[in-house]
Structure 1
Amino acid sequence: MDVLVTGGAGFIGGHIAETIARSGHDVTVLDNFEPYYDLGIKERNVDAGRAAADESGSSYRLVEGSITDAELVEDLVADVDVAYHQAAQAGVRSSIDEPKKVNTYNVDGTINLLEAARAHDLERVVVASSSSVYGKPAYLPYDEDHPTTPVSPYGVSKLATEQYTRVYNEIYGLPTVALRYFTVYGPRMRPNMAMTNFVSRCLHGEPPVIYGDGEQTRDFTYIEDIVRVNERLLEDDSADGEICNVGSTDNIDIRTLAAVVRDEIDPSLELEFDEARTGDAEHTHADIEKANEILGYEPTVDIREGVSKFIDWYHENREWYDPLVRSS
């Protein structure tokens, strides 16, 4: 099968592309290499995808370009069977600074992909959405019927993205699925996330810094669980037209997360606190019953196990991954 992964040099897209290539499918990756974070991490994702393709005898093709280029997107879609749409302008705080930019990438780019997929009768389009669509909780955990009142331009753009995805299924019959990810973490994740900041600071003997009072809660989802549900959708049509939460087995408050990381690395460190950041949701917690019923989705890695696995990986790859080591 021929598969397109937009944003396939990024964190989640890179892991999906690697896994699909290892399964023997031919993969095309589209990525614009936006320097939102160190591009060396994206290069590692590409290397992993190519190595997986070499192992399985499949092909891996990298195209440097943007989902905002409708002509390029259509040319790529014309040659594939399934598309995983992971490309997006990420970051809640950056979206507050540049709301038009996040809309151009996340909304207009998604429409480019959906239009091309409709024109070429793709077998399926799997689109990455986000727990950011929920905003302030009316109740927890969030199920898919919870009100969607995002508190950042990023959340608004992801809500538009998934709703366009749903509408293309309803109106045009395009097989689509939107997955609402809940704070994905793991090897090769973006280095500007809370968990990576905690680990990096602790490894350098510096206390982890918590923004706000640390009572904010997050549903952290390990990358292997995210990849597994995406891989199933390569051929499973049972979720076509649906929007599904993809979360973890539990959630954790940020203060406890910082303490868990600190205790794994250097229990002598104190916790530090700074001002809360605008646009961050107070709480996220996924009800995954729908994904379980439709796709048999069951997360396998809880947060404490995942933190330990990530710290081990971080140690092994610190020379190229740790921002302070790279800059020294």
Structure 2
Amino acid sequence: MNQTTANAKILVTGADGFIGSHLTEALVRQGRKVKAFVLYNSFNSWGWLDHCGADIRQNIEVFAGDVRDPNGVKAAMAGCDAVLHLAALIAIPYSYHSPHTYVDTNVNGTLNVLQAARDLGVKRVVHTSTSEVYGTAKFVPITEEHPLQGQSPYSASKIGADQLAYSYYTSFGLPVVTVRPFNTYGPRQSARAVIPTIITQIAKGQRVIKLGAVTPTRDFNYVQDTVRGFIAALDSTQGVGEVVNIGSNFEVSIGETAKLIAETMNTKIDIVTDEVRLRPENSEVNRLWADNAKAARLFGWTPGYGGREGFKRGLAETVAWFTQEDNLREYKADIYNI
């Protein structure tokens, strides 16, 4: 922790989401001052923050708004020294259905965060990218110099957001670093993602598991590793104006992932292809495998759940969470969630 961020007040956008809630918890447990930006709704729901312990909820300042609203973003950021910008729409299938919404949230929302940070003189902005911007790997492991390929409206919107972040560094000197996590998994993840899809189907008694394509490979990142990556990027004095991969440097297919989950859950399964879960052929990202050397060099970050054994350990922790009755009740395993 450097002197700039040790006593900083930190705004976390998307704090109500999967990664954002874990990140908010970790920051609070480190004794940081945190303002949690959650999506406004009439139920006064704080998303996954509602499921955190009272020790967490009582030590965060919550701001309900919408990143698509520049006035709300600037009001939320007032008095903050640093911003961790995670708020985004991320479901790829839904981006085929509603691409305009992805531009509004991911591109214009990021623009609002960047402009507010510039206006308010924020000392460090950590912007969230995604490995999806690389598309199907042209070479592996994928370094930060890999070409960008917008193979879905989601990935295209994130490429646009990343380029805006870079432009605010080159044009205005905004101290922004772009963190590019590969496929994060763990407790609280949406069932639109493949690992929760498999776990929840098995946990609810299904043995014929519906999936999309099983041959693509992914570099899965346990959520606690991703959180440590964000905090390392926040606390470092390096990386301004740069993109940094956060990945495990371990490649595994979706089919093999399903087998490992079944083994973890002591179950035998059969996998069937559900046509509705398949991406359009040219939109499928067939291979992702992260080179994480830059994160180690700049931030001193390495995965705690790396390699096959680390992946199995992360899966076991994820299964343990999802199979708790109160948690499993939150998921509709019989309905395909785009």
Asked whether the two chains share a fold, i.e. TM above 0.5, the reply is: yes
Please tell me whether the aligned partners of residues 177 and 240 of structure 2 are also in contact (alpha carbons under 8 angstroms).
yes
**Residue 14 of structure 1, CA deviation:** 1.0
Query: Do residues 321 (structure 1) and 330 (structure 2) align?
Result: yes
Aligned to 1:184: 184
Counterpart contact for 2:81–2:122, Cα < 8 Å = yes
The reply to whether residue 22 of structure 1 matches residue 29 of structure 2 is yes
Partner of 1:250: 250
1:15-94 equivalences under 5 Å are 15-32=22-39, 43-48=47-52, 51-52=55-56, 54=58, 59-94=59-94
* Count of aligned residue pairs for this structure pair: 317
Distance 1:178 1:102 in 2: 19
Shift of 1:47: 4.2
> Which of 270, 280, 284 is the aligned partner of 1:280?
284
1:187–1:314 CA contact under 8 A, matched in 2: yes
Superposition deviation, residue 24 in structure 1: 1.5
User: How do residues 108-257 of structure 1 correspond to structure 2 at under 5 angstroms?
Assistant: 108-206=108-206, 207-212=208-213, 214-257=214-257
Deviations along 1:146-172, whole A, 9 cap, x unmatched?
111120011011111111111211221
2:21 corresponds to which letter in structure 1? G
What's the offset of the Cα at 1:83?
0.5
Change (3 A) 1:16 1:66: same
Q: Partners of 1:220 and 1:49 in 2: how far apart?
A: 27
Per the normalisation by structure 2, the TM-score is: 0.88
Q: Secondary structure at the match of 2:137?
A: coil
| TM-score for both structures, normalised by structure 1 | 0.90
CA shift, 1:180, in A, is 1.0
Partner of 2:3: none
Q: Is the 8 A contact 1:205 1:266 kept in 2?
A: no
1 CA distance for matches of 2:274 and 2:332? 21
Structure 1 residue 204 displacement after superposition: 2.2
Change in CA separation of 1:25 and 1:191 when aligned onto 2, cut-off 3 Å: same
What amino acid does structure 2 have at the position aligned with 1:308? A
Q: Tell me, in whole angstroms, the C-alpha distance in 2 between the residues paired with 1:269 and 1:225.
A: 29
Counterpart of 1:13 (choices 20, 23, 47) is: 20
Q: Name structure 2 gaps, 5 residues minimum.
A: 1-7
1:318–1:141 CA distance, 2 compared to 1 (3 A): same
The 1:216/1:176 distance shift into structure 2, 3 A limit, reads: same
> Structure 1 residues 101, 208: CA separation in 2 closer, same or farther (over 3 Å shift)?
same
SS of the residue aligned with 1:62?
strand
Partner of 1:296: 300
C-alpha separation between the residues in 1 aligned to 2:41 and 2:180? 23
**Structure 1 pair 49/145, CA: closer, same or farther in 2 (3 Å)?**
farther
- 1:307 counterpart = 2:311: no
What SS does the aligned partner of 2:165 have? Answer: helix
RMSD of Structure 2 on Structure 1 (CA): 2.2
Aligned sequence identity (%) = 28
Contact 2:34 2:61 in 1 (8 A): yes
Q: 1:180 to 1:315 in 2, by over 3 A?
A: same
Aligned position for 2:95: 95
Higher mean C-alpha displacement, 233-242 vs 147-156: 233-242
